[in-house]
Structure 1
């Protein structure tokens, strides 16, 4: 397949790019540094600097839209919120506008979102039919998803990837936690009872390929493992597998003072299930946290 990928140089995009190339697909990546793309993949991948470099004659069987500034990379100032919005919503709108003008439209658009769509919902079990708690992360994800779903009006099949925390050794949250736990500084956040909905990198990649190649799938899909855990359970499991102690804890008030509004990412939570993905016939290879961590950390 001919595939267009945005966000192809991040943690998830890089892993997905390697998998797609291994599967024999032809890739074009939108990147601010197309020369890096060319060098990294030995000329096997076409790199474009911006969406406006696409023409009406370009055709792709599938478009995978993963672009977006890191939600937890910087404090949520008004300027940062604008960057989070434009890098997600505005870019997706530009992508759909290009689809509107091309001579031949793609068959499918897979567009990123996040389980932040649900907002902070303590212990309630959530699936794709659940109602959100109206807060900043919900508003951001709602507009992000709306901009992608607009492609359905063009006859393009759309799958929204409402993604949890992706666990992989070489990126994301797990990479940041490993040195902390390595120095016996790991511990629960707040009371540790907030729910943590995660997915192993292997299963995330498999789910993206499953949705891309299954023409009967469309709409919103939770990309989370079927066995969410609490923050405390996650902390204890990771410490156990690394043979490290995790007796420290960070009080909620400290996180709120240090992080402000962004502290909801650590103190809030969602107990999310991948109902529509399972109903579509997808099988998780790493449904339990212990098994996922063992595989992703190469612990046998």
Structure 2
């Protein structure tokens, strides 16, 4: 089958590799342009671009599509049977949705219609959902509103992080998109009720509100691992919280209540188990406390 693959981050890589390995004719790979990244601001290709180059595939990186008739015409000229989209990062105009013979299929990281939008994996963990999954969707002009072709659930446990769930869903998406390409199922309209939206995250979402219940803070830490991360302030310095677990104890919200870096929350408490200061290595809490004692009574977030 002749297709275009459209994706940018790590989430899309297993699908690209699976499609290539299955022998489909990948006419072009579309992804976000290379951008400065890291401390040195060196220009870096996105993960899909790196893999596409490795596989010797044609790569296109238009900075925009909706107001670029030349990019739209170039896409149409590929003569595609289908396009596969996975976390691409650009909205496809109607002309591009209509160009492939079978339209455009999206690999979405939730069980639609729950968690449409930009950050469905984080949203599911943050909300305390017991299950999420992958939906293969026929794209339309709406925001993740198109009919569903395939879907499969994945459980979310009390220790599930976005980092681990991301990899599980990326692999599942690769498996399901091959099924959708090889044996196209009949589309099923999404339910009219139950839709929720997962907005794009930013670093502004990182700070912890210690007045929230411990269970909510625990989910937030797991949901925002690895990005945008969670943070607070310790003795006037930014302080990253990489891992934690609910614990026994009470006290004023944000107050350290023992010598193991257990922090009181609005309800209950949470023990920080892996932390990081700016410019320093991430450390398990026991190792961190040996070099940076944090006595009971210390208030975080100030």
Q: What TM-score range do you get, normalising by the shorter chain? A: 0.3 to 0.5
- Kindly indicate which of the two structures has a greater share of residues assigned to helix: 1
Structure whose CA Rg is larger: 2
- Kindly indicate which of the two structures has a greater share of residues assigned to strand: 2
TM-score (norm 2): 0.40
TM-score (norm 1): 0.40
Q: Which has the higher contact order (CA 8 A, sep 6+)?
A: 1
